[in-house]
Amino acid sequence: MTADEGGLPGIRRNVPTAIHVQISEHVRMRIASGEWPAHYRLKSEPELAQEFGVSRGTVHRALTTLIEEGLLRQVRGRGTFVTSTVIEPSIAQKLSTLSEDFASQGVVATTEVRECSLITPPRPVAALLDLASPDARVLRLVRVRTIPEGPVALLFNFVRADLAPGIERADFTSSSLFGELEGTFGLRIATARRTFSAEAATEETARALAVEEGSPVQYLQQVTYLEDGRPVEYSDVWIHSGRLRVTSLLLRR
């Protein structure tokens, strides 16, 4: 058995501590020391098993412990990575909602619904949603998403009521907007246009996200389209950049 890289202690077989527990601790120390930073990709399980001089099953058990603790995460087809201390949703990579991202990452989040009512859309929103009739109505949904560390996002959504009649009666404290549109109303969401920028927090945004007024926040603007090309939803989202970071996985080809 070779000594551990980076001067960290190696695996000892003459102590009562189980080998898989020692491997878990070894990985924790590398993460804590900064040698394995957030997003660092570990070697494959067979490679780690050879490095430690143990079976692959022992390595798998050790890594599973750390995944359950939230220190590591596995991405199908890509490998095992050190997690970030800041939540990183995939909303810059695929058409998912924050609630869907939180659920997939095991993040406990709550939703406060501040408004859920039918209104006459503001003129810019009506234009983006292709609503020419002066009698057109949209759902105005205002929510705040919160994780244990504090509020992370303020969301304003405008949804075409003609495509989802009765949506104002949905309980958005426990269900997602896309989930309602697809599951309850049978709509097939296909694409969206998202624009990201940085903004200074207004008084309302600062109060919702528990930051100082004028602090930088991430701003996301989105128009969502159905399979037939009709726009169904427009949204403005302000994100607490200290608690939630938006990243993109980019492919050259």
81-139 pLDDT, tens per residue? Answer: 887 655 556 555 566 677 777 776 667 789 999 999 999 999 999 999 989 898 999 99
Per-residue pLDDT, 244: 79
pLDDT at residue 53 tops 70: yes
CATH architecture of 98-239: 3-Layer(aba) Sandwich (3.40)
pLDDT in tens, 185-239: 999 999 888 888 899 999 999 999 999 999 999 999 999 999 998 999 999 999 9
CATH architecture for segment(s) 5-82? Orthogonal Bundle (1.10)
From CA 223, how far away is CA 203, in angstroms rounded? Answer: 25
Distance CA 192, CA 94 (A): 9
Identify the CA nearest to 127 among candidates 118, 119, 136: 136
pLDDT at position 203, please? 96
Kind plus residue range of the DSSP H or E element containing 238 = strand 231-239
- Taking the model in full, what pTM does it have? 0.64
Where do the structural domains in the chain lie, given as residue ranges?
Answer: 5-82, 98-239
Report pLDDT for 89.
60
What is the C-alpha separation between 152 and 154, in angstroms, rounded? 7
Q: What is the 3-state secondary structure (H, E, C) of 93-160?
A: CCCCCHHHHHHHCCCCCEEEEEEEEEECCCHHHHHHCCCCCCCCCEEEEEEEEEECCEEEEEEEEEEE
Please check the confidence at residue 6 and state whether its pLDDT lies above 50: no
Contact 36, 63 (CB under 8 A): no
